[in-house]
Chains A and B, each alone.
Chain A
Amino acid sequence: MKETNEIKLVRTACPAHCGIDACGILAHVKGDRIIKLEPAEFPNKVDRRICLRGLSSLDITYHPDRLKYPMKRIGERGEGKFERISWDEAYEIIAEKFKEISDKYGWRSIGWVLGGPGAGTTKFGAYLRIASLTQSTRVSAWGYGDAGLPCGSRVIFGSQFPYMYLFGKFWQRNWPELLVVWGANPGESMPLQTMRKIMDAKENGTQIVVIDTRFTVTASKADEFLGLKPGTDSALALGLMNVIFQNELHNIEFIREHTNGPYLVRSDNGKILRGKDIGDKKADSYIIWEESSNSPKPVRRKNLQSASITGTYNVNGIECKPVFQLLKDLTQQYPPEKAAEITGVEANLIIKLAKKLGNTKNVTFFTYMGFTRTCHGDISLRGLCSVASVTGHVATSFSSGYLPAVLNWDPFLKAVPDRPSFHRLGILNLYEAVISGKPYPIKALWFAFINFLNQCVDCNKIIKEFYPKLEFIVQTELFMTPSARYADLLLPVCSFLEFSDFVSHPYPYVQLQQKVIEPLYESKSDVNIVAGLAEKLGYGDYFKGGEEAMIDMITDHSSLEGYNRETLGKGAMLLRALPEGGNFPLNFRTPSRKIELYAEQLVEDGQELPVYLPPIEAPITPGEKKYPLTFIQGHSRFRTHSMFSNVKSLLELNPEPIVEINSIDAKARNISDNDMVTVFNDRARTTLKARISDSVGPGVVNITEGWWIEQFKEGSVNHLTHDIINPVQNKIYEPNMHMNDVAVDIMKYKEGGK
């Protein structure tokens, strides 16, 4: 190393899987070593940000345990015994194995399991591109906790995410009178992009309500906290709507204009009445009951505001009701007392909140992925969005703000335009594909940026039934994680300070993650690892130019003209502002192009309305089930999922896993603070330290996710979880893992105890 005192400053961005916080980082480099990280400037000074994990990133880059060179397994899977090989050997082995397996079972039997790329883009894109070229299988990781929300959002808003409709204006710093944070804890999982704004809003007079199953950091800042039992959110939504409708506090104009609330539904089969049912020449037209003429009419823009949203009508001998009436009928089964009984939220609080929602002009709802990690989380989201919609608190257009960046995913999703691309499999569907070959057999897997065994449900099933069925496992990793131990071939990957990528966050900015130092040891970026393999497979041309070429590719879109490696090298750039006084409509890509309070495609599933269905496993009624406690997994500020679990500076502050248990449950089991306890169900035992804490209500225990398996005395969080598939989610999008819908009991730890 060259001796120097000169400090070079490089601006980059942290792409950790908290994702949208995407802190801009200014790295101080002396010689070839980074000596310090600090929060980098943003065009708007107030957006400068860093978190305790970002600050600790050098402890990852310079961690003594980093994987330093490619390795081949020499012991049993799981034993962690490997021997060093060269990159060329590694590529040779992979190319040969892939050829052998694809000759036997076809390329689709080879899967790429891509975890959360965080704010990274091209490192994800590179794998899609090679999967597309080889027509192998892309295993989507939405299902590992993040598929429930898109399932619900797709049904009601016709969009992968509900965010811009619910809180897009909030992110543009338009503070509402009332903010309802429901089932989310941005105070720990999104402190910079969201929690700061929540506190800014509060300083500016916004009243904050937090609805959660846990008294979180976010809840600690609330004016009112509604603590509810896990998985009962849709019952609360129905209870709120019951009060809103009883008091006629719903927004009729909004319901008529923006939802399918006025559309008539046939009582005989639940289908939405169409033109063809009443002999109208517009066969597919939706039908409303026009109040002015007291007759059914195909829906037109001009007759919408005279559409009836209540009542029962006879249309050519067919009994029909408007969607809204059906929703109202459903909510009648959930008066506040009943909703209170199910959810554990006091009836009087339900009434107060409902009235407030109906009487307040400007309300923002905030939620995120964690809200939907129970079996029927998709319906929970539809419930929340229904409450927001009937009170008119959903954005249907923006009049100011910034145009979102659209990335050019085409070269990655479809590398050769006129040829079929990759097959797609949800990660929860992967279990069956590997174990029983359905819908088709998967024989080889490549894991990238995912700690699969640690973070996915039912560890014992993975170890005993899943891994043994695989003929070949490749993993790119920084460390010998619990999952890495099961790889046949282990490839060392760079930390984020050693490679470049494009980061399209945080809104309203885009950033460049610039390589600060050369990759340490023999590590490579995911893009360069894929490029090396592609060369062996004969697709080298598609990866020429490495990371830089990939960045140029993904930013090649009209929305990003002028945003390139050169301009972004200087710092974060603001997205383009919407024209002053403009109106940028937010469309709903549902079948009706409206907010769908009623989902026709789910009639046969009995889920056309946001019905309340109890959790699949979580025992919300005391004494009802064998295992009386609900186990949930909150997020910890000390980790981003399983990243940072092995970082010294953070372990100093948070040294070991703990299970939070309510004082009442602890007393009943004679458990004291700091006791070693065992959390158990039919699947496994997990032993760790107890923390008596009323942050969880009676009947609920919480262990924050992400701790590595070896950090527990025995078991781990996902030894306790299950791989139950919700068939409706499977039909709408892909099935989600229900990490917060798990039944357990807990006892004092006994050596060798059962």
Chain B
Amino acid sequence: MNKRFGLVIDQERCIGCEACTVACKIENNSIGHWIQVETQKVPQKDTPSGQYPDLKLEWLPRLCNHCANPPCVDACPNEALVKREDGPVIYDQEKCDGCQVCVGACPYNVILYIQEKNTIEKCNLCVHRIDKGLEPFCVICCEGQAIYFGDLNDPNSVVSQKIASREAFQLKPEAGTNPSVYYCPPKPRRRL
């Protein structure tokens, strides 16, 4: 069976620091932020939901889901987006003409259109690193050690283990895209 590389992001360990955002931008020398850390249920970043002192503060880092059935790849008229056999959905900046069809096709709003160079940008799962046997840069820079990388097709991989043990979920399963990025929800509080 082919490998299917993916990520598991543990919301229980995510401290919303955005080191992943900074690390990704530096590693990929990008213009946009390919990972955007969303503070859930509130309009403003890093503000809790609820009323003092009964509050919640949870983060969800959003990035390309490297879907098994990627609508962006189907939509791109220029074959600038490619689904690799081992999982990553990557884009070719040379082939992209900035038409933005993929931006509209993506249910997750994680493909960025960069006006100044008239192309898209998005996470490519650090294929330049994983091809050398290294983990994506966000994984090794995560302050909370909340991001796991591995082969979703290998039941013994750390990602498969996390998914099995933690009720991990994918974003918008109804879109039928089958994302390769999973999230583990925060654990319920054990009150005094």
Is there contact, CB below 8 Å, between B58 and A220? yes
Stretch at the interface among B46-54, B87-95, B168-176: B46-54
Is there contact, CB below 8 Å, between B48 and A215? yes
Given known A-B contacts A52-B19, A349-B192, A36 and B26 have beta carbons under 8 A apart: yes
> Looking across the interface, which residue of chain B has its beta carbon closest to that of A48?
B140
The 4 closest A-B pairs by CB, nearest first: A227-B53, A220-B57, A352-B192, A52-B19
Q: Which of B46, B57, B189 has most chain A Cβ within 10 Å?
A: B46
> Looking across the interface, which residue of chain B has its beta carbon closest to that of A226?
B53
Within 8 Å of chain A (Cβ to Cβ): is B44?
yes
> Looking across the interface, which residue of chain A has its beta carbon closest to that of B23?
A55
Is there contact, CB below 8 Å, between A694 and B48? yes
Within 8 Å of chain A (Cβ to Cβ): is B13?
yes
Task: Report the separation of the CA atoms of residues A226 and B137 in the bound assembly, to the nearest whole angstrom.
Answer: 37
> Looking across the interface, which residue of chain B has its beta carbon closest to that of A209?
B192
> Per DSSP, are chain A's interface residues mostly helix, strand or loop, or mixed?
mixed
Contact with A along B9-22 (1 / 0, CB 8 A): 00011011111011
Q: Which of A46, A202, A696 has most chain B Cβ within 10 Å?
A: A202
| Chain A residues at the B interface, C-beta cutoff of 8 Å | 36, 38-39, 46, 48-52, 55-56, 187-188, 191-192, 195-196, 199, 202-203, 207, 209, 215, 217, 219-227, 349, 352-353, 356, 637, 649-650, 652-653, 660, 662-663, 673, 691-698
Within 8 Å of chain A (Cβ to Cβ): is B56?
yes
Given known A-B contacts A38-B140, A52-B19, A352-B192, A196 and B145 have beta carbons under 8 A apart: yes
Task: Report the separation of the CA atoms of residues A80 and B48 in the bound assembly, to the nearest whole angstrom.
Answer: 41
Is there contact, CB below 8 Å, between B22 and A191? no
Is there contact, CB below 8 Å, between A223 and B189? yes
Contact with A along B145-182 (1 / 0, CB 8 A): 10000000000000000000000000000000000000
Question: A51 contacts which chain B residues (CB < 8 A)?
Answer: 17, 19, 143
Task: Report the separation of the CA atoms of residues A50 and B144 in the bound assembly, to the nearest whole angstrom.
Answer: 10
Is there contact, CB below 8 Å, between A691 and B47? yes
Is there contact, CB below 8 Å, between B12 and A215? no
Question: A39 contacts which chain B residues (CB < 8 A)?
Answer: 140-141
Given known A-B contacts A199-B12, A649-B22, A215 and B52 have beta carbons under 8 A apart: yes
Question: A195 contacts which chain B residues (CB < 8 A)?
Answer: 15, 143-144
> Looking across the interface, which residue of chain A has its beta carbon closest to that of B27?
A36
CB distance from B162 to the nearest CB of A (A): 12
Is there contact, CB below 8 Å, between B190 and A223? yes
> Looking across the interface, which residue of chain A has its beta carbon closest to that of B47?
A693
CB distance from A654 to the nearest CB of B (A): 9
> Looking across the interface, which residue of chain B has its beta carbon closest to that of A21?
B143
Task: Report the separation of the CA atoms of residues A55 and B26 in the bound assembly, to the nearest whole angstrom.
Answer: 8
- B interface residue count range (under 10 / 10 to 19 / 20 to 34 / 35 or more): 35 or more
> Per DSSP, are chain B's interface residues mostly helix, strand or loop, or mixed?
loop
Contacts A/B (CB < 8 Å), 21 sampled: A46-B145, A48-B140, A50-B19, A50-B23, A52-B19, A55-B19, A188-B15, A199-B144, A202-B12, A220-B48, A220-B55, A224-B191, A225-B55, A227-B53, A353-B192, A637-B18, A649-B25, A660-B47, A694-B48, A694-B51, A694-B55
Contact of A673 among B13, B44, B140 (CB under 8 A): B44
Given known A-B contacts A199-B12, A220-B57, A349-B192, A693 and B143 have beta carbons under 8 A apart: no
Contact of A52 among B17, B44, B190 (CB under 8 A): B17
> Looking across the interface, which residue of chain A has its beta carbon closest to that of B56?
A220
Is there contact, CB below 8 Å, between A650 and B189? no
Residues in B58-85 with C-beta less than 8 Å from chain A: 58
Contact of A694 among B27, B50, B144, B145 (CB under 8 A): B50
Is there contact, CB below 8 Å, between B22 and A56? yes
Contact of B13 among A199, A637, A692 (CB under 8 A): A199
Is there contact, CB below 8 Å, between B52 and A217? no
Task: Report the separation of the CA atoms of residues A192 and B144 in the bound assembly, to the nearest whole angstrom.
Answer: 7
CB distance from B121 to the nearest CB of A (A): 15
Is there contact, CB below 8 Å, between B17 and A662? no
CB distance from A181 to the nearest CB of B (A): 13
Q: A46-B145, A220-B55, A697-B53 are in contact. List 8 more A-B contacts (CB 8 A).
A: A38-B141, A49-B143, A207-B192, A217-B57, A222-B189, A225-B55, A653-B22, A695-B48
Question: B15 contacts which chain A residues (CB < 8 A)?
Answer: 187-188, 191, 195, 217, 220-221
Contact of A693 among B13, B17, B48 (CB under 8 A): B48
Question: B27 contacts which chain A residues (CB < 8 A)?
Answer: 36
Task: Report the separation of the CA atoms of residues A55 and B24 in the bound assembly, to the nearest whole angstrom.
Answer: 10
